[in-house]
Structure 1
């Protein structure tokens, strides 16, 4: 399992919005893109997907931009990845009569791994990522002093 570039960019953008959540001010695409080094056009597409998924809202006008629909502590990583990647970790509905024993064993192990990954992603929120980022920043500052 690998984190796609699309998911990584989207999570970076959401982290930027989470760090500005308390102010209630929407962030413009160019602000997020500059802070997180994400191509503007690509970010625009990602935010549209996240908006359709109910994770972010957009506001039009000169003071417009994007912001989270709810508190960062209420947005799970599994929800974000599900919105972006369409993750469906259910079983494959193929005809079980045509499966070999080998393919059944592989599918069982893959399902177990997927369920374990889902459990981890379900336990982490955007707020958790913000806190981890802040603690790493503090370590970096202390290290360089």
Structure 2
């Protein structure tokens, strides 16, 4: 299991929108892209996917941009990965059973591992990412004598 660049970029963009959620200020693609060195065009495509799936909303106008469609604590990491990668639908596709005991055993362990990973990803939200980032930033600022 590996986190794709596509999913990582989407999570980075959503993390920035989560941080701006309380202010209600929309973020523009070029702002987010500059913060994380993401190609504008690529991020534009990801934002369109996130908007179609209902995780974000776009606001038009001179001060327009993108905002979260729900509160950061209501969007799990699994929600984002499902939107971008379709993880749950891939997991739901059970491979054909050819009657081969060894393959069935291996597949059952693999499905158990996927379920465990999904449970962890479902547990964490965008708010949790924001909180962790803030905690890490505070640790970096501490001075020791």
- TM score, norm. by length of structure 1: 0.93
1: distance between equivalents of 2:101 and 2:83? 33
- Extract unaligned runs of 5+ from structure 1: none
- The yes-or-no answer on 1:108 pairing with 2:108 is yes
2: distance between equivalents of 1:103 and 1:142? 52
**Structure-2 residue corresponding to 1:47:** 47
**Structure-1 residue corresponding to 2:121:** 121
Determine if contact 1:57/1:67 at 8 Å carries over to the other structure.
yes
CA RMSD of aligned residues (A): 1.4
Task: Report matched runs for 1:132-143 at 5 Å.
Answer: 132-143=132-143
**Structure-1 residue corresponding to 2:92:** 90
Determine if contact 1:19/1:130 at 8 Å carries over to the other structure.
yes
- The change in CA–CA distance for 1:77 and 1:102 in structure 2 (over 3 A counts) is same
2: distance between equivalents of 1:34 and 1:93? 42
What count of residue pairs does the alignment treat as equivalent? 143
Structure 1 ranges of 4+ moved more than 6 A:
none
1: distance between equivalents of 2:65 and 2:94? 40
- TM score, norm. by length of structure 2: 0.93
Q: Deviations over 1:20-45 (max 9, x none)?
A: 01111111100111112211000000
Determine if contact 1:91/1:111 at 8 Å carries over to the other structure.
no
